[in-house]
Structure 1
Amino acid sequence: MLEEIAIENLGVIRGARVPLSEGLTVITGETGAGKTMVLTGLNLLMGGKADPHSVRPGADRAAVEGRIRVSGHPTAAARVDEAGGEIEDDGTVVVLRTIADGRSRAHLGGRAVPQGVLAQIADDLVTVHGQAEQLRLRTSAKQRDALDDFAGPVHQGVLAGYRTAWSERTGLLAEIADSEARAAERAREVELLRIGLEEIERVDPQPGEDTELAALIERLANAEGLRVAAGEAHQAMAGEDETGAQPNAIALVETARRALEGGAHSDPALGELATRFAEVGYLINDLATDVAAYLDDLQADPGGLEAAHARMADLNGLTRSYGETIDDVLRWASDAGLRLLDLDDGGDRLESMKQRVGELDDELDRLAGALTEARTTAASELAGAVTTELHGLAMGGAHLEVTVAPADALGPYGADQVTMLLVPHPGAPPRPLGKGASGGELSRVMLALEVALATSPHKQDGSGATDPEGADVAALRRTFVFDEVDAGVGGRAAVEVGRRLAQLGRTTQVVVVTHLAQVAAFGDTHLVVTKSAGDTPDGNPDGDTPAGDDAHDADGMITVTGVREVTDENRVVELARMLSGQEDSTTARQHAMELLESSVVGR
């Protein structure tokens, strides 16, 4: 609900603070005083389009600030959180809208946001009915939502079950369509995977085989050079030339060892060196033996080299297609096997999904039938309740028709097409809401609808208020704003308009701009928009008009506009002015007091 609005430099209002309480708040004032600017400010807070020309002449910018209670409204609170705005400890959030340099800016809870975010918040909290605004129930979908709300929580529980089933079915159908659309693609993938696995299985590569085979090919291709190198090394270590003049490494080491051992009796250090030469001799002997064995194994093998090249060709064929190395190829084969299992399971998954869709179709048919039955009953009751309200609002010949017709097919909200038609007077054809009625009549139709929705017998407590988890009902109030709801009515019909606004105000917050005292008398809070004129900006000839806007009129005078709450005697004076135009009229004041007394009794 709205708690207050502060307006600065908007139209004829330089500065005004408008307090809004629970229940019914009425706004009155003389024509041209600036009542419309109050609604304009409210519209800006709700994310409405900003008009740069609405900035007060001479001012740099216009600003409207409001405090909105979002506690108890989880959707609205969630939107504030998503936008990064701060919710105060008391559950309220500050909304600011400014117009400057031809541009509009919006702030929510201290954070700059697009104006569309304000519209989303307002959609959960505020509804405006007036000639300048579109109908809340302008579409069949909105009319269906209103009928579902009227039908009560039991019906809405069935609807929630239907919505859950519909959402699951929609997801499954999308998955089935995608699966079937990609069937040919999956078949091609399966074929390619199987060809690859068969090729790898035929070659049967081993881990690291390509590296080992490359080394073997290099060895076989250079066998002669390797034999020469190994032979020379063996000759140097253990061989003898034909003359025996060139000793080998083994003989030289042995000679050195013996020489050192000969002097070891004189110096033990030589004995240690001789021991080390002996160790070197053992190593050379072992090395010579290994080189000799290498020479024995190293034989020219043209057939082996050819076989190695053939095997490498097979391995290279795999690495060209499935990886840079044989180890990569083996990893691809492992992944391909798992992918094949997944693709083979796709057929079973598809059949399972189709079976579940069939089950959901049966459930949706059952739930849709229950929805249709409940809506049909509620439609008759809603039409009767609204028609009764219209008769009390000076539209005695009008009645509302609410039809529930079969839709072409099941949809996300059932199998029904809900339509609300207004018959404005006897003999007139039924017409869609918003057509064939004046602005004032349309506001009264919407008032009748809102009263009927708020007082539905299907609601938990019969008042239209909900109390989730013990929450404060006052914190859950939605705000309704009516402009010109009393246009074209008077007398007893005006009293009935006021009574119904007050009735709606029991469970919601209602703000109404009115020029009828019979309506204003029912207000829980009465605000008066006033203006005065003087020959100086500070002039206040009446003495009781609060400071507000000052703008020069056509005669060069200063117009001052402000908003004030009236109570007790001041309220009687305002009602008298509205009744007769003469606030000091004794008769008018007496009538005003009677209206106040009867409004209390009439509730």
Structure 2
Amino acid sequence: MLEEIAISDLGVIRSARVPLSAGLTVITGETGAGKTMLLTGLGLLMGGRADPAGVRPGADRAVVEGRLDLRRHPHATERVDEAGGEVDDDGTVVVLRTVAAGRSRAHLGGRGVPQTVLAEIADELVTVHGQSDQLRLRTPSKQREALDRFAGAAHAATLAEHRAAWAERAGLQSEIDDLTSRAAERAREAELLRLGIAEIERLDPQPGEDADLTTLTTRLGNVEELRQGAQLAHDAVAGDDTEVEGSAVHAVERARRALEAVAGDDPALADQVRRLTEAGYVLGDVATELSSYVADLQADPAALETAHARLADLGSLTRSYGSTIDDVLAWASDAGLRLLDLDDGGERVEGLRARVAELDDLVADLAGRIGDARRDAAVRLAEAVTAELDGLAMRGARLEVEVSPGEPGPHGADQVAFLLQPHPGSPARPLGKGASGGELSRVMLAVEVALATAGEDADAVLPTFVFDEVDAGVGGRAAVEVGRRLAALARRTQVVVVTHLAQVAAFADTHLVVAKSTAADAGTTVTGVEKVTDEDRVRELARMLSGQDDSETARQHALELLESSAVGPWGR
């Protein structure tokens, strides 16, 4: 829902704030006052193309700001979040559009965005019906969507089931195509995997074997250096066969005895005695282990040669399948799983084809049920819209909803077309061809009212509807019926109407008047927007009826219109 629009320096509008409440809002004013500028501003907020020529002469830029209520539109809220914008705590978001020479900028929830993002959100929030606007129900896809909405909840559930089955079938067929088209490539890949696995199995490497062999070859290749170093370390710790008094073990023992002899005089030395005792044990263990190491260390040229040969064999694996043997083993594990997948390709294709055949039967059955439901709904929708047209000064006009075989797709196998027969005996033509802008707007109004009053669709969230020239070419009783239907539609959702007819304006919940004035500072003509109520509203209706707001006769007529403006099926 649109809560308000603020416009500055757009066309003849210097500065205007337009409050838009729930229900029916009508915008009136004398011809040329600038009512269309309000719609232009709305179009900019909704991602429309910016025209720098629309900037008010003498101004640097035009600015349009609006506030949208997104509380009943979760998809639009998600899109704002995706674009980086911020939705306020009350569920509203601010949209800003600026237009200057050669450029325009859009902001959504405080974040700069491409204008296409505004257009995406507008597609859910606002529907504009006017002579110069793209009509929502002109395209076959939108006509199909409208018919599906009219058909009700059960039909919508069948459509959802069909879309899911269609998507699953498309995914499976894509997988089949991939498996069959890449059969030779998969066979080559499987052969390479088998060769690699066979080579690894032949050498049978063990986890960490390359690291262990590297350590072994380093030790066997430096036996003498290792023996000399270990022996020197042993002698330094424990002494050699001829001298032990200069060893570390002997020195620590002497220190321990010296402290032990005097520790009774100062308890503080007891801890040091303990630590020296522990050091003596550690040094003794080191000496024992070094002695064993030296005794066990033997040169083994055969073992060294064997280790080098094994490392060379393992090197052929690490060059091809990983930098370490652990990497090679991981590759072999993955390759085995991949080989199972490749070898199973034929059986998988058969299984997939069987499932596709099942889905073909399901899709055909669902498409048939969808087509039956659409044809039934088409008759009812055509009758409902035709009945509405009779009261909208289009007596004799008929809407035909044609459902014919079409290209199968996610939405079924039907082609939907709305055809308008403007007069008895005249050919029915596609909607939007051969009808005036006013007639098209009235057809759109009739369709929207029929959709909004469909019993099974009573809880649907409808967009804001904006009608321009919906009353073109009508007057009298037909004008009253136009107003009554707009008010009926406004019981379901927000409706904004630009009108020249008092019979339509009388049904408004909110009445806005666009009026010209002369700017005192520059002597230029500017436009402002004012909400009128009570006596001011009566005067505006009187002006619309007679061209004179002080005519007593017109005033009485305006009061009669207000008193008789009761709304259709939802009451007022």
State the TM-score, normalizing by the size of structure 1: 0.77
8 Å contact kept, 2:487–2:567: no
Q: Count residues in correspondence.
A: 519
Residue 432 of structure 2 is matched in structure 1 by 434
Alignment counterpart, residue 525 of structure 1, candidates 487, 507, 510:
510
1:579 aligns with 2:564: no
8 Å contact kept, 2:52–2:99: yes
Offset of 1:339 from its aligned partner? 2.9
Cα deviation 1:291-348 (Å, max 9, x = unaligned): 9x96xx98x99xx999999877765655554456666555543443333234334444
Residue 527 of structure 2 is matched in structure 1 by 561
1:114-513 alignment to 2 at 5 Å? 114-204=114-204, 253=242, 317-318=316-317, 320-323=319-322, 329-409=328-408, 411-459=409-457, 464-466=458-460, 476=461, 478-513=463-498
Residue 49 of structure 2 is matched in structure 1 by 49
Offset of 1:489 from its aligned partner? 1.3
Distance 1:427 1:204, change over 3 A: same
Residue 270 of structure 1 is matched in structure 2 by none
Residue 555 of structure 1 is matched in structure 2 by none
The residue matched to 2:539 in structure 1 has which SS?
helix
Offset of 1:527 from its aligned partner? 1.0
The higher radius of gyration belongs to 1
Query: Which amino acid is the alignment partner of residue 535 of structure 2?
Result: E
8 Å contact kept, 1:454–1:465: no
List gaps (5 residues or longer) in structure 1. 231-249, 257-278, 467-475, 539-549, 553-557
Offset of 1:181 from its aligned partner? 2.9
Distance 1:148 1:329, change over 3 A: closer
Q: Distance in 2 between matches of 1:508 and 1:147?
A: 19
Residue 76 of structure 2 is matched in structure 1 by 76
Q: Distance in 2 between matches of 1:118 and 1:507?
A: 24
Residue 590 of structure 1 is matched in structure 2 by 556
Query: Which amino acid is the alignment partner of residue 565 of structure 1?
Result: K
Query: Which amino acid is the alignment partner of residue 180 of structure 1?
Result: T
Query: Which amino acid is the alignment partner of residue 153 of structure 2?
Result: P
Query: Which amino acid is the alignment partner of residue 425 of structure 1?
Result: H
8 Å contact kept, 1:209–1:326: yes
Q: Distance in 1 between matches of 2:442 and 2:163?
A: 33
Distance 1:196 1:498, change over 3 A: same
Q: Distance in 1 between matches of 2:60 and 2:407?
A: 56
Residue 112 of structure 1 is matched in structure 2 by 112
Q: Distance in 2 between matches of 1:188 and 1:76?
A: 50
Q: Distance in 1 between matches of 2:61 and 2:242?
A: 107
Distance 1:320 1:424, change over 3 A: same
Distance 1:200 1:374, change over 3 A: same
Q: Distance in 2 between matches of 1:12 and 1:92?
A: 29
Query: Which amino acid is the alignment partner of residue 93 of structure 1?
Result: V
The residue matched to 1:31 in structure 2 has which SS?
coil
1:19-34 alignment to 2 at 5 Å? 19-34=19-34
Distance 1:80 1:551, change over 3 A: farther
Distance 1:35 1:210, change over 3 A: closer
Q: Distance in 2 between matches of 1:10 and 1:368?
A: 50
Residue 61 of structure 1 is matched in structure 2 by 61
Residue 600 of structure 1 is matched in structure 2 by 566
Q: Distance in 1 between matches of 2:442 and 2:375?
A: 24
Q: Distance in 2 between matches of 1:89 and 1:330?
A: 56
Q: Distance in 2 between matches of 1:22 and 1:217?
A: 87
Q: Distance in 2 between matches of 1:220 and 1:569?
A: 112
Cα deviation 1:406-451 (Å, max 9, x = unaligned): 1233x10111111111112223222111111111111111111111
The residue matched to 2:392 in structure 1 has which SS?
coil
Identity %: 70
The residue matched to 2:479 in structure 1 has which SS?
helix
Distance 1:341 1:595, change over 3 A: same
8 Å contact kept, 2:488–2:567: no
Q: Distance in 2 between matches of 1:84 and 1:181?
A: 43
Residue 35 of structure 1 is matched in structure 2 by 35
Q: Distance in 2 between matches of 1:212 and 1:110?
A: 63
8 Å contact kept, 1:12–1:551: no
Query: Which amino acid is the alignment partner of residue 70 of structure 2?
Result: V
